Amino acid sequence: MKISIRMDDITPDMDWKKFLRFKELCDLYQIKPLIGVVPDNQDGNLHIDTAESTLAENFWRYIKSLQNEGWCVAQHGVTHVYTTKKMGCFPLNRLSEFAGTGYENQYAALKYGRDILLSHGIETEIFMAPAHSFDCNTIKALRKLGFSKMTDGFGERPYLWRGIIFYPISYRQNSCLKKNSGYTTFVVHSNTMNDKDFERYEKLFAKYKDRLISYAELMVIEAHKRGVLEKTAEYAMALTKYILVSGKRIFKNPKKEF
């Protein structure tokens, strides 16, 4: 499969050292990922590099410059605070900023987030749901606000569902690397990566450099309409992954987001 990268949890006080280390790797292989920017981060787990710095001060200008260079920007939720324990349409986590909060609330929140990005000159039609969690009202509100793309779902190529083009993420990275055809996205949380994780990506990028594509290249791939059966299979896969991952998480890191 061709591999694109998305980087989650981009905020003014993210772990800049780790973000820049991963960016260096992307630059080396000349790939431009999708970055999920939180418009109004209020999630305590994402306040990491809180020291005053020129990077944090110039955050929005820096994001704009990445976008001008060809990096893709997604709106990653609004505050990134989980308000419900609903799983939504893609049940990878039992917590959500949006699922179950109703159309009106979601529309108002998503608009508030979108307007923050716009006030910094950042326009995007791509949405990245925190914890991969959203419901049909989220989709409806996103459409109304002019969003046309989401980075979520499972599959081998982009698909159209409820008026939104979904760009699937990898179910398991290793099995994606074994397949020769199709497209997927690897989800990267640079904030929580350790040296071993970086080394793994360094080796992976070197070995599979011909498979790596920029997110903009993924977005020109034609999307096919997804039917009910495929959608049901995707739901079952996500739920299975949730059960497997949550079993391990209890022992390892209960706060870590997939």
> Residue-wise over 226-254: b if at least 16 C-beta within 10 A, else e?
beeebbeebbebbeebbeeeeeebeeeee
Among positions 9, 15, 97, 152, the unique one binding Zn ion when judged by CB under 5 A = 9
Least distance from C-beta 122 to Zn ion, angstroms?
Answer: 17
Least distance from C-beta 13 to Zn ion, angstroms?
Answer: 14
Q: Tell me the per-residue interface mask from 129 to 158 with Zn ion, x by CB under 5 A, - otherwise.
A: -x----------------------------
Tokens of 249: 């998480």
Least distance from C-beta 207 to Zn ion, angstroms?
Answer: 28
- What phi and psi, each to the nearest 5 degrees, are found at residue 222? -65, 135
How far is Cα 120 from Cα 128, in angstroms, rounded to an integer? Answer: 18
Q: What are residue 84's DSSP bridge partners?
A: 96
Angle at 74 (CA atoms; ends 9, 252), nearest 5 degrees: 30
Site for Zn ion contains 33 (CB under 5 A) = no
Least distance from C-beta 152 to Zn ion, angstroms?
Answer: 12
Among positions 4, 8, 73, 214, the unique one binding Zn ion when judged by CB under 5 A = 8
Give yes or no for a contact between 152 and 215, defined as CB atoms under 8 angstroms apart: no
Nearer to Zn ion, 11 or 67 (CB): 11
Q: Which stretch binds Zn ion (CB under 5 A): 7-15, 113-121, 154-162, 207-215?
A: 7-15
Binding residues for Zn ion (CB under 5 A): 8-9, 130
